């Protein structure tokens, strides 16, 4: 989709379809010559209520009038939903190029959200379909028309949502296609596509040689070679703290010897969602030339049961020296992340965010709208919350506390990877990770509920790309 902006009136663009929003208590701002759109409103065919649609034909174009509801309640999330609603109707109508006439007084975040909603709603994953539904219809172009200059806002939103859709491609790709090595190759592509990026990948032998016994234990049950993927970004005039973004990328989580039930096991192809978000977010950060330094660390492996697989009761040593008793091989994400986090700290990370589809418990606690946020630093936590508000990728904080840290202490080793009571499962997992970051300001995002099939109006099926907008927003606010 070609995305452009203009200060010309929507009617003067070469779009075949124009979207016009109307708020409660307001009228059509720029009507066609004979007043067709206002007449639709006056007759009640077009409505001002949120998401109500009406279609008119005038001046050789199609016009979609969309209700935006109360102006005071209109926020970027509503703008994304309105854009997705319009997008669906525009596609049905055979639209090639859609122009959004930006409502008066909409701020930059609102304008960006119109682009985001359209691009995210336009995503499809039909690579494996011989006969895609509706023949793979897609918009060719999106034009944003506003009285004021919106070029930079629109361009940024286009870059970020393209990255988010690429993360969804990685998520939706099945485990037989997206192996750890394939994810590594994607990281190399990302590095080649933008300036200031370098990619370095370590294989399973290197992982073992570096003493990453926790990560290696997960990888040993799989025939696929595990990969420690590192992306470094050095922006122009980079200042501020070194930001480490760490991602769990278990390309398929069968549970290992503590094998999962068959029901919904196929969804465990999404267990690489944190890693996908980290890689594509860094790609977007580089395209935007943000003046910061970022270290991406993604641990990619399968978690499979075979004759060489780790076993319940095994004790391993992570690269920071901590010994871990593996009580349950299905709690593999924290094993992978333990070594990735220690690696980030050892490489000078001054701020850390990790993203992981870590616990089913977070889905019980928060559902699919908010990811769990756990942090050892109130200031850094506040940064994450602010970025979440601004990006619409929502977070909800859960506590860390010495009482929770106490329960992961081990009988045979320093710590256990699962506490048998299963109380506060998401927090216990976070306290496990806490052991590998020490005092470096760190935020752990448990995205098990938000990574896929969230039901959101613009990205509700399959991978959601959750985290890409949030991480880019965080990076934009870093200094
Ligand atoms: N990848 C899963 C977490 C998960 C569960 C993601 C459901 C998405 C949906 C993780 O590796 C896992 O298996 N966690 C276990 C931990 C348990 C054994 C303590 C879980 O949550 O059941
Ligand atoms: Mn698991
Ligand atoms: Zn997992």
Q: Angle, to 10 degrees, between the axis of helix 273-287 and the axis of helix 468-476?
A: 40
Of 360, 343, 361, residue with least CA distance to 352: 343
Distances (CA, A) of 193 to 189, 219, 296: 6, 29, 16
Distance CA 346, CA 341 (A): 9
In this prediction the pTM is: 0.98
Nearest bound ligand to the CA of residue 417: 1
User: Closest ligand 1 atom, CA of 271?
Assistant: 1
pLDDT at 136: 78
pLDDT at 469: 98
The answer to whether 111 touches 154, Cβ cutoff 8 Å, is yes
Q: Is 99 helix (H, G, I), strand (E, B) or coil?
A: strand
Q: Which residue has the tokens 């379809």?
A: 17
User: Closest ligand 1 atom, CA of 268?
Assistant: 1
What digits encode the pLDDT tens for the residues 102-126?
A: 999 999 999 999 999 999 999 999 9
Question: Quick one: tokens of 260?
Answer: 């999962």
pLDDT at 460: 84
Question: Quick one: tokens of 159?
Answer: 């870059």
pLDDT at 133: 81
Pocket lined around ligand 1, Cβ cut-off 6 Å:
253, 271, 328, 330-333, 357-361, 363, 418, 425, 448
Distances (CA, A) of 99 to 60, 146, 254, 384: 14, 10, 46, 33
Nearest bound ligand to the CA of residue 429: 1
| pLDDT, mean over the chain | 97
Phi, then psi, of 422 in degrees rounded to 5: 60, 20
Question: Quick one: tokens of 455?
Answer: 């039901």
Which residues touch 413 (CB under 8 Å, ≥6 apart)? 315, 323, 324, 325
Distances (CA, A) of 430 to 85, 115, 418, 434: 38, 35, 11, 6
Burial code (b: 16+ CB inside 10 Å, e: under 16) for 24-44 equals: beeebbebbeeebbbebbeee
What is the distance in A from the centroid of ligand 1 to the CA of 449?
A: 11
Give one DSSP letter per residue of 130-191, joined into a string: SS-GGGG---SEEEEE-SS--HHHHHHHHHHHHHHHHHHHHHHS-TTTS-HHHHHHHHHHHH
Question: Quick one: tokens of 91?
Answer: 């596609």
Which residues touch 34 (CB under 8 Å, ≥6 apart)? 58
Q: Annotated active-site positions, please?
A: 260, 334
Instruction: Ligand 1 pocket test: pick from 276, 303, 330, 365 the residue with the most ligand atoms within 8 Å of its Cβ.
Output: 330
Residues with Cβ within 5 Å of ion ligand 2?
253, 330, 332
The answer to whether 17 touches 97, Cβ cutoff 8 Å, is yes
pLDDT at 479: 73
What digits encode the pLDDT tens for the residues 188-240?
A: 999 999 999 999 999 999 999 999 999 999 999 999 999 999 999 999 999 89
| Domains of the chain, CATH where assigned | 2-149 (3.40.220.10), 174-478 (3.40.630.10)
Instruction: Ligand 1 pocket test: pick from 359, 425, 449 the residue with the most ligand atoms within 8 Å of its Cβ.
Output: 359
pLDDT at 422 over 90: no
Higher pLDDT, 195 or 136: 195
| DSSP element (H, E) containing 352 | strand 351-356
What is the distance in A from the centroid of ligand 3 to the CA of 350?
A: 27
What digits encode the pLDDT tens for the residues 345-397?
A: 999 999 999 999 999 999 999 999 999 999 999 999 999 999 999 999 999 99
């Amino acid at each position: 989709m070609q995305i452009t902006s203009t200060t010309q009136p929507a009617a003067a663009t070469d779009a075949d379809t124009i979207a016009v929003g109307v708020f409660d208590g307001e009228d059509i701002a720029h009507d066609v010559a004979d007043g067709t759109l206002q007449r639709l409103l006056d007759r009640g065919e077009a409505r001002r209520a949120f998401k109500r649609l009406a279609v008119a034909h005038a001046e050789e174009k199609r016009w979609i009038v969309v209700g935006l509801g109360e102006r005071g309640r209109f926020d970027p999330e509503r703008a994304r939903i309105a854009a997705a609603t319009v997008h669906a109707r525009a596609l049905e109508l055979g639209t090639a190029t859609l122009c959004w006439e930006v409502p008066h007084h909409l701020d930059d975040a609102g304008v960006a959200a119109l682009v985001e909603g359209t691009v995210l709603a336009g995503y499809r994953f039909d690579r494996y379909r011989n006969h895609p539904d509706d023949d793979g219809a897609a918009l060719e172009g999106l034009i944003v028309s506003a009285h004021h200059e919106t070029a930079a806002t629109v361009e940024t939103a286009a870059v970020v949502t393209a990255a988010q859709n690429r993360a969804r491609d990685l998520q939706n790709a099945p485990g037989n296609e997206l192996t750890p090595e394939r994810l590594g190759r994607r990281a190399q592509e990302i590095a080649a596509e933008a300036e200031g990026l370098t990619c370095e990948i370590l294989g399973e032998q290197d992982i073992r040689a570096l003493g990453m016994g926790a990560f290696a234990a997960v990888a040993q049950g799989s025939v696929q070679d595990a990969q420690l993927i590192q992306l470094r970004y050095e922006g122009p005039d980079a200042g501020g703290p070194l930001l480490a973004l760490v991602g769990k990328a278990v390309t398929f989580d069968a549970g290992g010897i503590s094998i999962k039930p068959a029901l919904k096991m196929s969804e465990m192809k999404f267990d690489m969602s944190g890693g996908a978000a980290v890689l594509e977010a860094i790609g977007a950060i580089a395209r935007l030339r943000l003046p910061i330094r970022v270290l991406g660390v993604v641990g990619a492996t399968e978690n499979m049961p075979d004759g060489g697989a780790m076993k319940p009761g095994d004790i391993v040593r992570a690269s920071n020296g901590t010994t871990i008793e593996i009580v349950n091989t299905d709690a593999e994400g924290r094993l992978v992340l333990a070594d990735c986090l220690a690696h980030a700290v050892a490489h000078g990370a001054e701020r850390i965010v990790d993203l992981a589809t870590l616990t089913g418990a977070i889905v019980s606690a928060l559902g699919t709208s908010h990811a769990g946020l756990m942090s050892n630093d109130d200031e850094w936590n506040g940064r994450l919350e602010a970025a979440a508000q601004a990006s619409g990728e929502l977070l909800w904080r859960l506590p860390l506390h010495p009482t929770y840290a106490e329960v992961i202490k081990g009988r045979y080793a320093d710590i256990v990877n699962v506490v048998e009571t299963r109380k506060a499962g998401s927090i216990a997992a976070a306290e496990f990770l806490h052991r590998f970051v020490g005092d470096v300001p760190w935020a752990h995002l448990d995205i098990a509920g938000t990574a896929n099939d969230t039901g959101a109006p613009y990205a509700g099926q399959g991978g959601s790309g959750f985290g890409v907008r949030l991480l880019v927003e965080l990076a934009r606010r870093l200094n």
